[in-house]
Amino acid sequence: MREYKIAAIPGDGIGPEVISAGLQVLETLAEQDGGFKLSVERFPWSSDYYLERGYYIPTDGLERLKQFDAIFFGAVGALNVPDHVSLWGLRLPIAQGFDQYANVRPARVLPGVRSPLVNGKDIDWVIIRENSEGEYAGNGGRTHRGLPIETATETSVFTRAGVERIHRFAFELAAKRPRKHLTLVTKSNAQRFGMVMWDEIFFEVANDYPDVTTDRELVDAVTTRMVLKPQTLDVVVATNLHADILSDLAAALSGSLGIAPTANLNPERVFPSMFEPIHGSAFDITGKGIANPVATFWTAAMMLEHLGEKAAADRLMAAIEQITAAGVFTPDLGGTATTASVTEAVCKALAQQVKKAA
Ligand code: NAD
Ligand code: MN
């Protein structure tokens, strides 16, 4: 029996609600499959934990996480901790410490879901976000606090190694898709150094992938293209900040932030990769039992695929699509379902698949 060790970090807000739902669905899948087993350990690292102890991740935390095959992450962020403290306390140390440089964000309008776009069905994108450097490298400083000359810098960092590996990753992924099209997102008109190198290296790497067609778009212009001509995009590669913003737009255009998944990959598999819904803690709906768990289920499917359980991942996606087609929606999608009822519906759809196959 294949066995995978999963580190679950539910975190804050609706994180624990959606991660519990995700684990329930994963357990159901593993039981039905019979070919693999998941051994899950839950880590209590959260903002409450931080407020009690002064740290999110204990000193040996990353060493412990390293033993796992994958990390299943909820969300971090609380009203009583500044966001930059929570983000840099929990999520970024894992993503950076494990060199999860490729952030993969698929966007698609699931059956039955209504896009705010009339031509929403044309959305079938994968946004690749550089996840280790760029604008979020953490390179900056602040001096003369409170004085009129107070100064702060936030310097983007682009390295040849970092830029080349994300472009190569994007080309590899684009080459495996039916349309084999990759769009380079940039801002090299206004930013003359890092962004110009970003473009140059893209076209160097492109020489190794003659089958992949490419184009280049400025980040501001690509937002209009996402809205007005969604069918012209396939795979998109963008910097840490740009892709962060574009992927929330992609999620909204696909129907809701509550369905959008993401994978933070260490493609070389030296370290475990981390899988999470792209949404945050969602304070406004925490504890109400109405968080949409679909983003987390889709995330779980990406995790299974990464672990090599493609058949189970496909079954999970089929079950998700079956319940969205049937209109089992939480309020963010205009329905009245709860986290629990959506989870039950997906488990039931999985059980039906097994019956059909038998
Ligand atoms: P958010 O994603 O938490 O919420 C934005 C809006 O989307 C809210 O109205 C929320 O109710 C809705 N929403 C989000 N997920 C949903 C779901 N599954 N089902 C239904 N509705 C959903 O973003 P925000 O309000 O900007 O941030 C809140 C907190 O989360 C902040 O502390 C922020 O730093 C943190 N955050 C964390 C992550 C992460 O852990 N990766 C990502 C984004 C934001
Ligand atoms: Mn974001």
Q: Where are the domains of the chain?
A: 1-108+261-358, 115-254
**Nearest to 330, CA basis, from 277, 284, 283, 290:** 290
Mean pLDDT of the chain: 97
* Contact of 286 with 319, CB cutoff 8 Å: no
Residue of 278, 281, 299 to test ligand 1 pocket, by largest number of atoms within 8 Å of CB: 281
Name the CATH code of domain 115-254 (choices 3.40.50.970, 3.40.50.300, 3.40.718.10, 3.30.70.1380): 3.40.718.10
Where helices occur in the chain by DSSP H, the ranges are: 15-33, 47-53, 61-65, 83-86, 92-97, 160-175, 194-206, 219-228, 240-253, 294-307, 310-325, 339-357
pLDDT at 275: 98
Burial of 68 from C-beta contacts in 10 A (0-12 / 13-18 / 19+) = buried
Which of 257, 276, 329, 339 to mutate to test ligand 1, by most ligand atoms within 8 A of the CB atom? 257
In the prediction, which pLDDT does 20 show? 98
pLDDT, tens only, 215-237: 999 999 999 999 999 999 999 99
Q: Is the pLDDT of residue 102 over 90?
A: yes
| Model pLDDT for residues 290-338, shown as the tens digit of each residue | 999 999 999 999 999 999 999 999 999 999 999 999 999 999 999 999 9
Residue of minimum CA distance from atom 30 in ligand 1: 280
- Angle between helical axes of 219-228 and 240-253 (0-180°, round to 10): 10
Q: Measured between alpha carbons, how far apart are the two ends of the chain, in Å?
A: 21
Phi, psi (degrees; rounded to nearest 5) at 7: -95, 115
Give percent of the chain above pLDDT 70. 100
Locate 252 and state its tokens. 């909204």
Question: How many angstroms separate the alpha carbon of residue 91 from the centre of ligand 1?
Answer: 14
Q: Average pLDDT, stretch 140-164?
A: 98
Cα 311 vs. chain centroid, distance in angstroms?
21
Q: Predicted confidence band at 51 (pLDDT cuts at 50, 70, 90)? A: very high
Ligand 1 centre to CA of 216 (Å) is 30
Residue 202 Cα to ligand 2 midpoint, Å, equals 24
**Facing residues of 277 across strands?**
261
Query: What is the domain class of 1-108+261-358 according to CATH?
Result: alpha beta
Place of tokens 């574009």: 246
Whole-model pTM: value is: 0.96
| Backbone φ and ψ of 229, nearest 5° | -135, 60
Residue 254 scores a pLDDT above 90: yes
pLDDT for the residue 356 = 83
Q: How confident is the model at residue 185 (pLDDT cuts 50, 70, 90)?
A: very high
User: Which atom of ligand 1 is least distant from the CA of 81?
Assistant: 32
Question: Which pair of tokens denotes residue 186?
Answer: 């940039």
Q: Name residues with Cβ closer than 5 Å to ligand 2, which is an ion.
A: 244
What pLDDT digit, counting tens, does each position of 12-28 carry?
A: 999 999 999 999 999 99
Greater confidence (356 vs 246) lies with: 246
Asked whether this chain's domains 1-108+261-358 and 115-254 adopt the same fold, the reply is yes
